[in-house]
Structure 1
Amino acid sequence: MTPVAESTAGAAPADGARREGGTGLAFRVEGAVLGYGREAVLRGVELDVAPGEVLVVVGASGSGKSTLLRALAGLLPPGEGRILAGGAQVTGPSADRAMVFQDDGLLPWRSVRRNVELPLRIRGVPRRERARAAGEWIERVGLGGFAGHLPRELSGGMRQRVQLARALVGAPRAVLMDEPFGALDAQTRAGMQRLLLDVLRDTSATVVFVTHDVDEALLLADRVAVLGRTGVRAVLETPRGAGEEAGTGRADLRERILKELQEP
């Protein structure tokens, strides 16, 4: 059996396919207690995320996947501990951290182009420049003929393409994705996964991607973080390559993740 590499204490990987984003850490979570009101969902969370990597977070329903993502986004302050992004403490939302949700959140009265432009408009980017950038990303996600369409005229998969373009148009340092493909049919979901991998080759953004689907995690991740009832159980590196050894390693890792998820 091919051994499965494990990152101790949530440490950033020694190497990886997408480490071009810079030095240091994209995120560091130090002893964070996360929850709502007096109810803690996650306790003592320790996690490092390297620049340019894809970290996929898996866990059972209610394990705190979305809670962790909201904290990284600056939408949920930790009750204890702290969260750093690029070495600076996270105290609220930032244009450097874009979010992508299962619900596309598009404004129904705005065209595809105007939805994609929105982050740039909020930041005061001149009209001509934001139109150019939006047009490039609309083409990049395969919707070049739909720039003038309204969201109601698009399929679910097309709307998620628009949301992805909107998230990336402002060149954020990090993209935080909360089960964005969970409501799509299998064929559309596979297409969106391929598109995401393709798009990420052209950006240095760090991605933290939440899913309950272990196979999706293995497809997308440089590393997989497994959440348990109170915190991060394990952070595991995914084997690279297409050979027999890499395939065996991924099968072993799948079994390891499933075992971690079944632990009480």
Structure 2
Amino acid sequence: MSLSFRLDGVRLGYGHGAVLDGIDLDVAPGELLAVVGSSGSGKSTLLRALAGLLQPYQGKILADGEEVRGTSPDRAMIFQEDGLLPWRTVRRNVELPLRIRRKPLDVSAWIERVGLAGREDRLPRELSGGQRQRVQLARALVGGPRAVLMDEPFGALDAQTRADMQRLLLDVLRDTAATVVFVTHDVDEALLLGDRVAVLGRGGIKTVLTSATRERILEEL
């Protein structure tokens, strides 16, 4: 079952400064919402708030109608830096969230799903950047989160590997019901992946492109 989000008059920032103000936004269950904006526009700040890592100065952030007050296994995060534990193999990195939650440790299906079958016993240093991101994707999804929050996960990859990971992400998500909020600075990537695209700028949401608008833009690219 996927998760819905609602942001109502949300003001976010650090210390005494507001990065985003007056944010009103709904994310439907099962939707892939891409959030695009320039550096410093507040993309990562918004994602941290959805994850429960940052509390708003004003307004409310709701997940399925309940106010977000902290982190939850229902909301998994994927970062540009893979954050893999260097002393753990591929298998043991993917198992980690299941170990923490004391769940069965059968992760072979997910390792195969992300294209890493046969590499289960390799350490992160023995993998390419794209392969490490595949491990991170499997680790995020293995616990069955209801929402996945992705902070420019493919930003450090070369063009071909990035395209491969975009295709893999869309393919893998078809097997889940998770809601996804995908942050990127790349407009083409946002248009390719998102069911809708929220454009950030000047401290708030400038516009939200609907699926129909998105299709027209894609035709013109």
Shorter-chain TM-score tier? over 0.9
Show the counterpart of 1:17.
Answer: none
User: 2-side partners of 1:197 and 1:141: how far apart?
Assistant: 11
Size of the alignment, in residue pairs?
Answer: 221
What 5-or-longer segments of structure 1 have no aligned partner? 1-20, 255-264
Show the counterpart of 2:161.
Answer: 188
Q: Which has the higher strand share?
A: 2
Show the counterpart of 2:200.
Answer: 227
User: 1-side partners of 2:53 and 2:154: how far apart?
Assistant: 22
Which runs of structure 2 are paired with 1:5-44 in the superposition (5 Å)? 21=1, 26-44=4-22
Which of 134, 137, 151 matches 2:110? 137
Letter in 1 for 2:218: R
User: 2-side partners of 1:91 and 1:65: how far apart?
Assistant: 19
Letter in 2 for 1:83: I
Show the counterpart of 2:125.
Answer: 152
Letter in 2 for 1:162: V
Show the counterpart of 1:47.
Answer: 25
Show the counterpart of 1:56.
Answer: 34
Task: Specify the SS of the correspondent of 1:144.
Answer: coil
Which of 145, 151, 164 matches 1:178? 151
1:125-179 Cα deviation digits (max 9, x unpaired): 1xxx21x1x1111000000111111000000000000000000000000000000
1:41-71 Cα deviation digits (max 9, x unpaired): 0001100000001000001110000000000
Task: Specify the SS of the correspondent of 1:145.
Answer: coil
User: 2-side partners of 1:94 and 1:235: how far apart?
Assistant: 27
Show the counterpart of 1:250.
Answer: 218
User: 1-side partners of 2:113 and 2:45: how far apart?
Assistant: 31
User: 1-side partners of 2:109 and 2:15: how far apart?
Assistant: 43
Which of 67, 71, 90 matches 1:112? 90
What 5-or-longer segments of structure 2 have no aligned partner? none
Show the counterpart of 1:90.
Answer: 68
Letter in 2 for 1:250: L
Q: What RMSD over aligned residues (CA atoms) do the two structures have, in Å?
A: 1.6
8 Å contact kept, 1:238–1:250: no
Which of 99, 123, 136 matches 1:121? 99
Flag the structure with larger Rg. Answer: 1
1:188-224 Cα deviation digits (max 9, x unpaired): 0000000000001100000000001011011101000
Report deviation, 1:251: 4.3
User: 1-side partners of 2:128 and 2:9: how far apart?
Assistant: 42
Give percent identity, aligned residues only. 72
Task: Specify the SS of the correspondent of 1:182.
Answer: coil
Q: TM-score under structure 2 normalisation?
A: 0.96
Report deviation, 1:250: 2.2
8 Å contact kept, 1:63–1:227: yes
Report deviation, 1:249: 4.3
Letter in 2 for 1:174: A
Report deviation, 1:239: 3.9
Q: TM-score under structure 1 normalisation?
A: 0.81
